């Protein structure tokens, strides 16, 4: 007896349903006029994609679709819903998604040739956390920050991001205690206050995020490597918990020294655990592959889960500048780093293909 009340649809039924929906989006675009309809993951992705598309193609008029009906009839959002339309995309209808690990895992056909835009970083939040953007806000902290107009896109994004930060974290199946004290060996990077003192005149986001990256980098490579060869060995939820860091009242002092020390201890401890558990593992080939795709020891903060990174950055930033988060969401550092340049190139390859 089948007790599952949920309807089951054949692949042909799903194909027909989403093909019909795609045709409707394209028809609406023709009626309203515009460059393209773009299905994004969620409403709070719209500010990022609007800024990116406007910078890449200022004359374009884009209609964003932040959610659509599933075949079951429910309003649905998220990457999975976006990808339901991948067979029906063209120059008038695109999707724009967070890369997560798709880019680094080289998932096929996630590219502009198939009318799919991606962040190239883990998610759009990583772009707002780019160090030059954070530094811009911090260096301007003595200037009065203008509040957003009520109901502006940035104000809505700020509210949605704050609600997202209050959501409970995923729990890891693996019960590793990151907080048990274990002194790192001397070959790890020195984080004592003498070393940090030369930066104490202002918060140096470049130093903080590059140091954060160098601590996390070996574990990111391990996590991506084991994801392919033994997925249960290092669950993604465990990695997310590792980089969920405590931010207290003094976390902005000495360029985040207290936060970096916690991270250093956690990373050293778990890296030692992995090396003991898998003594014959060789991830050097995978590290080389990551390097070729732009993941370096000083920038891997762009490739960790954006939720954890964003939470840490805005909490530290709020200790420096009360309106740090509002100001951070105002701008992006276009043309400053490879990952955002790739998005611009993708947009232009669709709207203005080279002959």
Token pair for residue 352? 């203005």
The total of structural domains in the chain comes to 2
Q: 115 with 145, same domain?
A: no
Residue 62's beta-bridge partner residues?
36
Q: 202 with 113, same domain?
A: no
Q: 166 with 105, same domain?
A: no
Q: 168 with 293, same domain?
A: yes
Q: 66 with 148, same domain?
A: no
CA-nearest of 158, 101, 135 to 205 is: 135
Q: Are 241 and 169 within 8 A, CB to CB?
A: yes
Token pair for residue 293? 């795709």
pLDDT tens-digit map of 281-299? 999 999 999 999 999 999 9
Q: Are 43 and 124 within 8 A, CB to CB?
A: no
Structural domain boundaries, residue 149: 131-331
The verdict on residue 3 lying in a domain is no
Higher pLDDT, 261 or 6: 261
Res 219: pLDDT: 97
Q: 44 with 178, same domain?
A: no
The verdict on residue 336 lying in a domain is no
- Per-residue confidence band for 8, with pLDDT thresholds at 50, 70 and 90: confident
Res 7: pLDDT: 76
pLDDT tens-digit map of 17-40? 999 999 999 999 999 999 999 999
Q: 107 with 135, same domain?
A: no
pLDDT tens-digit map of 226-273? 999 998 999 999 999 999 999 999 999 999 999 999 999 999 999 999
Q: 176 with 268, same domain?
A: yes
Res 175: pLDDT: 52
Res 186: pLDDT: 40
Those residues with Cβ within 8 angstroms of residue 214's Cβ, 6 or more apart along the chain or in another chain:
189, 297, 298
- Per-residue confidence band for 184, with pLDDT thresholds at 50, 70 and 90: very low
Res 145: pLDDT: 43
Q: 182 with 210, same domain?
A: yes
Look at residue 89 and tell me whether its pLDDT is greater than 70.
yes
Q: What integer best gives the mean pLDDT of the chain?
A: 88
Q: Are 129 and 213 within 8 A, CB to CB?
A: no
The verdict on residue 2 lying in a domain is no
- The percent of residues above 70 in pLDDT, for the chain, comes to 81
Q: 195 with 312, same domain?
A: yes
Look at residue 192 and tell me whether its pLDDT is greater than 60.
no
Token pair for residue 260? 């970096």
The verdict on residue 5 lying in a domain is no
The verdict on residue 54 lying in a domain is yes
Q: 219 with 282, same domain?
A: yes
């Amino acid at each position: 007896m089948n007790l599952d009340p949920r309807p089951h649809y054949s692949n042909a039924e799903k194909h027909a349903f989403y093909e019909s929906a795609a045709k409707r989006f394209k028809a609406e675009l023709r009626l309203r006029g515009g460059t393209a309809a773009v299905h994004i993951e969620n409403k709070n992705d719209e500010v990022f994609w609007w800024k990116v598309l406007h910078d890449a193609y200022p004359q374009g008029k884009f209609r964003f679709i932040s959610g659509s009906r599933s075949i079951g009839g429910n309003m649905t959002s998220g990457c999975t819903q976006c990808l339901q339309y991948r067979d029906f995309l063209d120059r008038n209808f695109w999707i724009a998604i967070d890369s997560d690990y798709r880019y680094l895992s080289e998932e096929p056909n996630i590219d502009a040739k198939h009318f799919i835009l991606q962040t190239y970083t883990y998610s759009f939040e990583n772009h707002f956390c780019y160090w030059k953007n954070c530094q811009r806000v911090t260096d301007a902290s003595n200037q009065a920050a203008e509040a957003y107009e009520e109901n502006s896109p940035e104000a809505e994004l700020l509210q949605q991001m704050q609600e997202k930060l209050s959501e409970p974290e995923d729990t890891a199946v693996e019960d590793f205690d990151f907080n048990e004290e274990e002194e790192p060996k001397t070959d790890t990077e020195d984080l004592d206050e003498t070393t940090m003192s030369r930066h104490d005149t202002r918060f140096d986001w470049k130093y903080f995020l590059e140091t954060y990256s160098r601590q996390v980098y070996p574990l990111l490579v391990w996590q991506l490597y084991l994801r392919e060869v033994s997925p249960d060995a290092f669950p993604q939820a465990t990695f997310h918990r590792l980089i969920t860091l405590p931010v207290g009242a003094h976390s902005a002092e000495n360029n985040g020294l207290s936060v970096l020390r916690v991270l250093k201890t956690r990373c050293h401890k778990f890296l030692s655990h992995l090396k003991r558990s898998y003594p014959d593992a060789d991830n050097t080939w995978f590290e080389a592959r990551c390097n070729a795709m732009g993941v370096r020891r000083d920038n891997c903060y762009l490739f960790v889960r954006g939720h954890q990174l964003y939470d840490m950055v805005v909490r530290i930033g709020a200790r420096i500048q009360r309106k740090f988060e509002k100001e951070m969401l105002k701008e992006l550092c276009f043309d400053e780093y490879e990952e955002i340049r790739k998005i611009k190139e993708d947009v232009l390859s669709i709207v203005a293909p080279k002959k």
